Amino acid sequence: MTDPEPTGESGMTLVEIMIAIVIMSVVVVGVLALLATLVRASDLSNRKTEAETTAIAAADYLKASDFDYSGAGGCEAHYATELAAYTTVYPTPGFTTSVHVYRGDAASISAGAAIATPDAGTPCLDGSTPVLRLSVEVTADDGAVSRSQDVVLRCDPAAAKAAGGTCL
């Protein structure tokens, strides 16, 4: 028994192989680009989470610290020093942490009204501001991520009196 002679073309031509390689290359490049985008998005999400976690932890630390009744050295400087102590113990590489102090009364804080920033070197209490809002801001060194967390501190009349200040 003999094999019949092949009729027509058998196998693939060089052109067909080249077309298949080009199609596969386009698909592979697309998948790699998608993976790169997913990695960048995941990294950004992780950095946002880290910034937010740091801001919350730093704000909680400041909330637990003593209210600055004396005002020695200035209100903003006091809480900046407190925050610096925190970030020394719990550093977050790649991020910068800062605090801004605003003062007012309970109504202005509750209403979210714009309240005054104490002048440099002035005490936290000036006889009309029994409430402070500390705004902790955490910013990535490259500026791509920024998160803030606010904490409200209320004046304790007994502690204020002991420090020579007053609460309303």
pLDDT digits (tens, 9 = 90+) for 113-134: 656 666 666 667 666 667 788 8
pLDDT tens for 31-55 read 999 999 999 999 999 999 999 999 9
Query: Taking residues 146-159, what's their average pLDDT?
Result: 82
Domain positions in the chain: 14-162
22 or 151: which leads in pLDDT: 22
Would you state the pLDDT for residue 104? Answer: 73
110 or 39: which leads in pLDDT: 39
Query: Taking residues 138-152, what's their average pLDDT?
Result: 90
- Residue 84 pLDDT > 70, yes or no? yes
Q: What gap in Å lies between CA 136 and CA 119, rounded to an integer?
A: 18
Q: Please check whether residue 107 is in contact with residue 85, taking contact to mean a CB–CB distance below 8 angstroms.
A: no
CA distances (Å), 124 to each of 48, 99, 108, 128, 167, in order? 31, 14, 16, 10, 11
Q: How confident is the model at residue 97 (pLDDT cuts 50, 70, 90)?
A: very high
Q: What is the mean pLDDT of the chain?
A: 81
